[in-house]
Structure formats: C-alpha cells, structure tokens
Structure 1
Amino acid sequence: MRLREQMPELKGITEWVNGEVDKAQLQGQPVLIHFWAVSCYMCKESLPLLNEWRDKYGELYNLKIVGIHMPRSEKDTDLDTVKATIQQYEMKHPIAIDNDHAVTDSFQNEFVPAYYLFDAEGQMRFFGAGEKAIGMVEQRLHKILGPKE
C-alpha cells in the first residue's frame, strides 16, 4: 500500500475475537491496524504498548485499534493458540484471525509486526514494519490525532 491510499476492506477473515468490525464502522475516526503472529517475539513485545494506546488514545481521540493475526507458518494457524495469546496479553480490541491471508493480501503486507495508521478520512498516513517501527507509530499518532479538544 502507498501513503494516502484508502483502507482496504476487512473481508475474508477466518474468525474474529473481541467483536467483528468492518471498514464502514471505522469511518470518521483514526484507525491503527497492526499485523502480528503468535510465533513473533517482537510482536508480543509490542502488545502491551498497543493496549496502552488503545486505552489512552481510544478514550481521548476515539482511536480504533484492530489486530490482524497473520500466520507465518502452519503452526501459527492453530486457533486455540492464537486465542490463548490474545487472552494472555489482554488484547481487548477486535482481532481478525487471517489464516487465509485475505486481509493480509488486500493490504499487500509481508511483515510482522507491521503497523498501518489511517486518518479519520480512511487514508493511510503511516506504514512501519519490524523491530523499530513501534517507536515511530506514536509520533505519527500525535500528528494525525492533533491537539486534544
């Protein structure tokens, strides 16, 4: 995906955890989509920070966070393992389990962890992947969220 492209649809998901969302429900608010996998240690290290942002910026700015579990191997497709990890890391935001890579492909995503930040108009304003990307996400969040009212 390129900057300023519209958010793709969230269709073809294997299963939703913590409630299903679609693109229409996310319109008019900033959205952070994060791709992760149970076998990715960097992904797990970032989950507490994502939870913190969900609580802090969700309340102040109506930021929505949606997780996309993108399996990297056959072992990662085990639904019980994914659900146990979601519970262990207290992920309360919607999580799409994308075992068929339907959403992964629509985002043209190849990496975990990966972060896609969309503004209230649904335009992508930031993409980052890998170990150092999480450090850049919050800085970009402040740019699209603007001053607190």
Structure 2
Amino acid sequence: MRLRTELPIFQGVSEWVNGELSKDELTGKPVLIHFWAVSCHLCKESLSQINEWREKYEAQYNLTVIGVHMPRSEKDTDIDVAKENIQKYGLKHPVMIDNQHAITDRFQNEHVPAYYLFDENHQLRHFQAGEKGLKMVEQRINKILSPKE
C-alpha cells in the first residue's frame, strides 16, 4: 500500500471482537491499524504497547486503534483462540478477525506485526513492519498527528 492511499473499507471480516466499526464512523479521526497473529511471538510482545497507545493517543489526538488478526497458518484460524488472546492481552479496541484475508489483501499486507497510520483525512501517512516498528510508529504518531503550529 502506497503512502497517501485512502483507508480501505472493512468488508469481508470473518468476525469483529469488541465492536464493529465502519469507515464512515471514523470520519475526521486518525486511525492506527495493527496486524498481528496468535502464532507470532513478536506480535504478542507488542500488544501491551498498542494498548498504551490506545489509551494515550485516543485522548491526545482522537486516534482510533483497530486490530486485524491475520492468520499465518490453518491453526491461526481458530476464532476462539484469537478471542482468548484478545482477552488475555487486554485488547479493548475493535479487532477484525480476518480468516479469509479480505482485509489483509486490501491493505496488500504480508507482515505481522505491521502498522498502518492514517491521518484524520484517512490518507496513509506511515507504514511499518517487524520488531523494530514500534519506535518508528510512535515517532510518526507524534509527528503526523500533533497540531501544526
């Protein structure tokens, strides 16, 4: 997905956990989409940071955080296991379970963990993947979303 690409629609999700959102409900709000999988150790390690960002940046920048559980194997498609992990790691934001890779394909995503930051106009402003992605994403959240003086 190229920078400045518009936020894709959320169609074809296997199941939503913690509430369903439509793109229209996000009008005027910046959005952080994070892709993860239950079989990804690095993903699980990063979930506490995602929770911290949700709390901090929702208040500071009106940021909406949305998770996408992207199965990497047949074993990852067990929705109950995904739900158990959502609860275990305290994910309170909406999470799409994407067993058919409908969302994954719209984002042209091939990685977990992966982070897509969209501004309030829903233009992709930053993409990051892998274990070192967290620091870069937080820098970009602050740079892209902070009020311009």
TM-score, with normalisation over the residues of structure 2?
0.97
Give me the whole-angstrom Cα distance separating, in 2, the residues matched to 1:38 and 1:121: 31
Give me the whole-angstrom Cα distance separating, in 2, the residues matched to 1:73 and 1:61: 35
Q: Is the counterpart of residue 41 in structure 1 residue 38 in structure 2?
A: no
**Aligned letter for 1:111?**
H
How many pairs are equivalent?
A: 148
Q: Is the counterpart of residue 25 in structure 1 residue 25 in structure 2?
A: yes
Give me the whole-angstrom Cα distance separating, in 2, the residues matched to 1:11 and 1:58: 24
Match of 1:132 in 2: 132
User: Deviation above 4 Å: which 4+ runs of structure 1?
Assistant: none
Deviation at 1:147? 4.0
Give me the whole-angstrom Cα distance separating, in 2, the residues matched to 1:110 and 1:18: 24
Unmatched tracts of structure 2, length 5 or more: none
Aligned-pair identity in percent equals: 64
User: Secondary structure of 1:44's match?
Assistant: helix
> Cα deviation per residue 1:85-109 (whole Å; 9 max; x = unaligned)?
0000000000000000000000000
Q: Is the counterpart of residue 115 in structure 1 residue 101 in structure 2?
A: no
**Aligned letter for 2:94?**
P
Give the CA RMSD over aligned residues.
1.0
TM-score, with normalisation over the residues of structure 1?
0.97
Unmatched tracts of structure 1, length 5 or more: none
